Amino acid sequence: MLSPDRETAVLRHQAVTSPPAGPTGDGQLPAAGRDGKDAALVQAMFDRVAPRYDLANAALSFGQDAHWRRVTAGAARPADARVLDVAAGPGNVAVELVRQGATEVVALDLSYHMLAEGLRRGHDRISWVNGDAQALPFPDESFDAVTISFGLRNVPDPQLALREFARVTRPGGRVVVCEFANPTSPVFRTIYRRYLVGALPQLARVVSSSAPAYRYLADSILAWPDRASIAEWLTTAGYREVMVKDLALGIVAVHRGFRA
């Protein structure tokens, strides 16, 4: 049961929130590429995924996902910082940011049900906000760092979101973008693509609360731009000294930059 205060925190920004009664939508998936991606379908899909999100992630990544989120949080240098975690889901990165010393973390997500999962677990230094990465409800330069893990790929206009991240980051503050990528080794890339389109959707039937969402996952990873394009987007948005670190043989890429 959510306490009244905590409900207020989740419902503070109602613009794109789904009815708390249950996930919406008729099971339709959003477009996997960037053209025509509908935020309402993205939200409904993640509402359906929320109940078994962590279990599915751990199973489908063979337990690697916790390490990826630790690296993401660490790259934000969260000690004594106020950090915004965008597309926070149930707050896995947010919790890691607190564990690594953040004084305050704001976890923002489009999906009410994802946030409700995080709230249920309860974390003192995390506040939960239902909102859109493309229109952040925060003043300019109000965070020391902004993180997003496995979220940017799902945003209809990721470059608009990055401009919003830059707006709310203080000068000299950090941005960290953790996202799936295509492995650079041709042999491993072939094996990985077979896993993505073959085994992963089958496994998702067993471990996920919404297997079709994992077909979207595979398609959206294959449609996602390369590392250099993401680095260029970050620079254009207002970040400098952008670096990228590959994890898990390049299945995951973590970009980091500083607000100019």
Residue whose CB is less far from ligand SAM, 35 or 228: 35
Establish if 253 lies at the interface with ligand SAM (CB under 6 A): no
Residue bearing tokens 């991606």: 37
Establish if 89 lies at the interface with ligand SAM (CB under 6 A): yes
Establish if 155 lies at the interface with ligand SAM (CB under 6 A): yes
Establish if 210 lies at the interface with ligand SAM (CB under 6 A): no
Establish if 234 lies at the interface with ligand SAM (CB under 6 A): no
**DSSP 3-state of 173:** strand
8-state DSSP, 170: E
Establish if 92 lies at the interface with ligand SAM (CB under 6 A): yes
Nearest approach, Cβ of residue 4 and ligand SAM (Å): 24
Q: Out of 109, 144, 164, 179, name the contact with ligand SAM by CB under 6 A.
A: 109
Nearest approach, Cβ of residue 113 and ligand SAM (Å): 9
For residue 20, what are its two tokens?
A: 């708390």
Establish if 30 lies at the interface with ligand SAM (CB under 6 A): no
Distance CA 142, CA 173 (A): 10
Establish if 165 lies at the interface with ligand SAM (CB under 6 A): no
Q: Out of 151, 158, 183, 257, name the contact with ligand SAM by CB under 6 A.
A: 151
Nearest approach, Cβ of residue 69 and ligand SAM (Å): 6
Distance CA 175, CA 143 (A): 10
Establish if 130 lies at the interface with ligand SAM (CB under 6 A): no
Establish if 182 lies at the interface with ligand SAM (CB under 6 A): no
Establish if 110 lies at the interface with ligand SAM (CB under 6 A): yes
- Express the helix, strand and coil content of the chain in percent, nearest 5 each: 45, 20, 35
Nearest approach, Cβ of residue 186 and ligand SAM (Å): 27
Residue type, 42: V
Distance CA 45, CA 123 (A): 25
DSSP string over 60-111: HTTT-HHHHHHHHHHHT--TT-EEEEET-TTTHHHHHHHHTT-SEEEEEES-
Q: Out of 9, 78, 149, 179, name the contact with ligand SAM by CB under 6 A.
A: 149
Angle at 134 between CA 244 and CA 248, to 5 degrees: 25
Establish if 46 lies at the interface with ligand SAM (CB under 6 A): yes
Residue whose CB is less far from ligand SAM, 81 or 93: 93
* 58 sits in which H/E element: helix 53-60
* CB of 115 closer than 8 Å to CB of 128: yes
Binding mask 65-84 for ligand SAM (x = CB under 6 A): ----x---------------
User: Phi first, then psi: what are they for 140, rounded to 5°?
Assistant: -60, 145
* 181 sits in which H/E element: none
Write out the residues near ligand SAM by the rule CB under 6 A.
39, 42-43, 46, 69, 86-89, 92-93, 109-111, 114, 132-134, 149-151, 154-155
